[in-house]
Chains A and B, each alone.
Chain A
Amino acid sequence: MLKRAEHILSLIPSSVTYADVRIVEQESEEIATKDGVVEALTSSTSSGYNVRILKDGVWGFSASYDMSKEGVDTTIKKALAICEASLPHKSKDVQLDNTKPVVGSYKTPIVEDPFAVSIEEKLKILLEADKAQRVSPNIAISQASYHANREKKYFVATNGSRIDQEIIWTGAGIETSAVEGAEFQNRSYPNSFRGQNQTRGFELVRELELAKHAPRVGQEAVDLLTADLCPSGEFDLILDGNQLALQIHESCGHAVELDRVLGYEASYAGTSFLTPEKLFDFQYGSPIVNLTADATIPGGLGTFGFDDEGVPAQRTYLVKKGKFEDYITSRDTIGKLHEINPRYNKPSNGTVRASSWSRLPMIRMTNINLEPGGEEGTGKAWTLDSLIKDTEYGILMSTNRSWSIDDKRYNFQFGTEIGWEIKNGKKGRMLKNPTYQGITPSFWNSCDAICGRNEWTVWGTPNCGKGQPSQVMYTGHGASPARFRKVKIGVVNW
Chain B
Amino acid sequence: MLGKEKLKQIANQVLALSSADQMEVLLSVGGHMLTRFANNEIHQNMAWQDLGVSVRVIIDNKIGVASTNSFEPEALKKVVAKAIELAHVQEPDPDFVSLPKPSKGSDISETCVFATESELASGVATIIAKAKQAGLVGSGAYANEVSELVVANSLGLFSYHKGASCNLSTIVLGKTSSGFAADVGKTTQDIDAPKIATIAVTKTLESKDPEAGEPGAYDVILEPQAVSELMAFFQFYGPNARMYHEQASCLSGKMGEKVFGENVTIFDDPFHELVFPMPFDYEGYPKKKLTIIEKGILKNVCYDSYHANKFHADNTGHALPAPNTMGPIPLHLYLAPGDKTRDELIAGIKKGILVTRLWYVRVLNPKALNITGMTRDGTFLIENGKVTKPLKNMRFNQSIPEALNNVVSIENKLTQLASFEGELIGLAPTVHIKNWHFSSATLF
Separation of A66 and B36 alpha carbons in the complex (Å): 24
Smallest CB separation, A51 vs chain B (Å): 11
Given contacts A58-B42, A411-B395, contact A42 B171 (CB under 8 A): no
Q: Does B93 contact A494, Cβ atoms closer than 8 Å?
A: no
- Verify if A78 is at the interface (C-beta below 8 Å from B): yes
- Verify if B82 is at the interface (C-beta below 8 Å from A): yes
Q: Does B47 contact A406, Cβ atoms closer than 8 Å?
A: no
Separation of A118 and B90 alpha carbons in the complex (Å): 12
- Verify if B439 is at the interface (C-beta below 8 Å from A): yes
Q: Hey, which chain B residues are within 8 Å of A120, CB to CB? A: 89
Smallest CB separation, A260 vs chain B (Å): 10
- Verify if A86 is at the interface (C-beta below 8 Å from B): yes
Smallest CB separation, A442 vs chain B (Å): 10
Q: Does A43 contact B82, Cβ atoms closer than 8 Å?
A: yes
Q: Does A62 contact B121, Cβ atoms closer than 8 Å?
A: no
- Verify if B384 is at the interface (C-beta below 8 Å from A): no
Q: Hey, which chain A residues are within 8 Å of B442, CB to CB? A: 406, 408, 410-411, 439
Stretch at the interface among A32-40, A97-105, A281-289: A32-40
18 contacts between A and B (CB under 8 A): A38-B90, A40-B323, A41-B63, A44-B54, A48-B69, A58-B45, A61-B45, A65-B69, A82-B45, A89-B125, A262-B39, A267-B140, A268-B421, A404-B372, A408-B443, A411-B374, A492-B439, A494-B364
- Verify if A119 is at the interface (C-beta below 8 Å from B): yes
A104-153: which have CB < 8 Å to B?
Answer: 118-120, 123, 127, 140-141
Separation of A67 and B369 alpha carbons in the complex (Å): 47
Beyond A85-B121, A177-B246, A266-B137: 11 further Cβ-contacts under 8 Å? Answer: A37-B94, A45-B67, A79-B47, A89-B128, A263-B137, A263-B173, A264-B43, A406-B395, A437-B395, A492-B370, A494-B370
B119-159: which have CB < 8 Å to A?
Answer: 120-121, 124-125, 128, 137, 139-141, 143
Q: Hey, which chain A residues are within 8 Å of B120, CB to CB? A: 85
| Centre residue among B35, B45, B116, B442 by max chain A CB count within 10 A | B45
Interface size on A, as a range, is 35 or more
Q: Hey, which chain A residues are within 8 Å of B121, CB to CB? A: 85-86, 88-89
Q: Hey, which chain A residues are within 8 Å of B69, CB to CB? A: 45-48, 65
Q: Does B362 contact A267, Cβ atoms closer than 8 Å?
A: no
Q: Hey, which chain B residues are within 8 Å of A249, CB to CB? A: none
Separation of A406 and B367 alpha carbons in the complex (Å): 25
Given contacts A184-B365, A267-B38, contact A42 B67 (CB under 8 A): yes
Q: Mark B33-72, 1 if CB is under 8 A from A, else 0.
A: 0111111111111111111001000000001111111100
Interface size on B, as a range, is 35 or more
Q: Does A404 contact B360, Cβ atoms closer than 8 Å?
A: yes
**CB within 8 A of B139: which of A32, A45, A79, A263?**
A263
Q: Hey, which chain B residues are within 8 Å of A468, CB to CB? A: 34, 36, 44, 141, 143
- Verify if A279 is at the interface (C-beta below 8 Å from B): no
Q: Hey, which chain B residues are within 8 Å of A45, CB to CB? A: 67-69
Residues of A within 8 A of B (CB): 32, 34, 37-48, 50, 58-66, 78-79, 81-86, 88-92, 118-120, 123, 127, 140-141, 177, 179, 182-184, 262-268, 270-271, 273, 358-360, 401-408, 410-411, 413, 415, 433, 435, 437, 439, 465, 468-470, 488, 491-492, 494
| Centre residue among B69, B83, B169, B171 by max chain A CB count within 10 A | B69
Q: Does A404 contact B362, Cβ atoms closer than 8 Å?
A: yes
Q: Hey, which chain A residues are within 8 Å of B89, CB to CB? A: 41, 118-120, 123
Given contacts A41-B86, A141-B248, A267-B169, contact A82 B366 (CB under 8 A): no
Q: Hey, which chain B residues are within 8 Å of A263, CB to CB? A: 38-39, 137, 139, 173
> Closest 9 A-B residue pairs measured CB to CB?
A184-B367, A40-B323, A411-B442, A85-B117, A63-B48, A61-B46, A267-B139, A266-B139, A358-B48
Separation of A342 and B139 alpha carbons in the complex (Å): 26
Q: Does B372 contact A413, Cβ atoms closer than 8 Å?
A: yes
Given contacts A47-B69, A184-B368, contact A42 B38 (CB under 8 A): no
When C-beta atoms are compared, the residue in chain A nearest to B51 turns out to be A65
Q: Does B47 contact A62, Cβ atoms closer than 8 Å?
A: yes
Q: Does B374 contact A44, Cβ atoms closer than 8 Å?
A: no
